[in-house]
Structure 1
């Protein structure tokens, strides 16, 4: 097993990333990892809103890299699989998307955290 930084994304958007449909992740914060670092996409079923909240029933679905971080624009809505635009968010441009052939069960957490797969 290897350790990777990971981010949790609510279903179906983890799989949308793995399939190359969603190429922009929108967040209210900037990542704490260097660009071009392997990042595991973890898909879970519940929104993790509370501090320290987790979901033990999540699955790692892909490994990606972040090319660029910039302001979220209305032009990003389709690539982000978003339903609307809102000011004050960041677009994380994803590339080198590698879907996982097996989808190991991992813990979903808030922010960027570490998983072993």
Structure 2
């Protein structure tokens, strides 16, 4: 399954339905309605090869990928707006009621989740 690491508390906010947009600089390579595991971790993974251990908190699908606008700040649970970013619309959130440890890595990455 493809996974996306999101720094705390962003992953929990996605799982709880509070965060409706994920803001990134890159476009994800996903098929239509492809499930993505949200992994919440506690450090920013800035360099290629950076990894951490996080918690699987939700499974989502993404809708439209579009330019981030000032009107998106609240839905993204962001503190400010900066042009040049993309807004990934989060859809069909399924919260994982018993989060479990899983690898956190940069961009989209593959994980095996026998729990799911």
Cα deviation code 1:36-87 (max 9, x no counterpart): 21000000000000110000x2111000000110000011000100011111
**Matched residue, 2:23:** 26
| Pairing 1:80–2:82 present | no
- Structure 1: state its 5+ residue gaps: none
**Matched residue, 1:62:** 58
**Matched residue, 1:94:** 90
Number of matched residues? 113
Per the TM alignment, residue 35 of structure 1 is displaced from its structure 2 partner at its CA by 3.4
C-alpha root-mean-square deviation of aligned residues, in Å? 0.7
| Pairing 1:37–2:34 present | yes
Per the TM alignment, residue 102 of structure 1 is displaced from its structure 2 partner at its CA by 1.4
After TM superposition, the score normalised by the length of structure 1 is 0.94
**Matched residue, 1:115:** 111
CA distance in 1, matches of 2:6, 2:61: 15
After TM superposition, the score normalised by the length of structure 2 is 0.95
